[in-house]
Amino acid sequence: MPDKVLLVDDDEDLMEIVSERLKNRGMDVDTVGNTEDALLWIARKHYDAIILDFLMPGMDGFETIHTIRKQQPDIRIIVVTGQMPADDGRKAIQMGADVVLEKPADLEVLAKSIRPSDSN
């Protein structure tokens, strides 16, 4: 079964390319451009992982992480951010994120964050 991934970013160029690259690695990827839509998708479909741009239109990043974690306790939450002070990174983890990656993130690191058991 391919990993089901929800990619959330308001930069369409970035979202399109990351989505294609993850699909090339055998993942099943949906994309949305804001946090409200992300929460709607998560409410109606099971995902193995969500890749979330921290600064997004709509809900505050911490609140989004907390809400996603409540809705899908088993989902991998990978936060990608252009800039985040160390304290905010720690808070994101406390709120339920599994991984915080700084942009520009290496796709192989991103893929391994989705599949932490996959060492290849």
Partner 1 sequence: MDRNDTIICQETLQYFKIMLPSFSHEAKNVLAVINENAGLMADYILMAQKGKTLDLERLSSLSTTIRKQVARFNTLITDVRQAAQGIDNNTQTVCLVQHIRQVSELLSTTAAMRSIQFHVSATEEPMHIHTRPVLLLHIMWACLDYAMQTGDQGQQIGLSLEKKGENVLVRVSGIDKLKPESITAIMPDEQRNSVLSALNAELAIDENEKTLLLKIGKHHA
> Please, which residue, 49 or 84, has the CB nearer to partner 1?
84
What DSSP string describes 55-103? Answer: S-SSS-HHHHHHHHHHH-TT-EEEEEES---HHHHHHHHHHT-SEEEES
Q: In the set 43, 63, 103, 116, which binds partner 1 (CB under 8 A)?
A: 103
Asked if 89 is part of the footprint of partner 1 (rule: CB under 8 A), the reply reads no
Q: How long a stretch of residues is the chain?
A: 120
* SS3 of residue 42 by DSSP: helix
Asked if 87 is part of the footprint of partner 1 (rule: CB under 8 A), the reply reads no
Name the residue with tokens 């109606």.
44
> Please, which residue, 17 or 40, has the CB nearer to partner 1?
17
Asked if 115 is part of the footprint of partner 1 (rule: CB under 8 A), the reply reads no
Contact 52, 105 (CB under 8 A): no
Which residues, 45 to 64, sit near partner 1 by CB under 8 A? 55-58
Residues at the interface with partner 1 (CB under 8 A): 10-11, 13-14, 17-18, 20-21, 24, 55-58, 80, 82-83, 102-105, 107
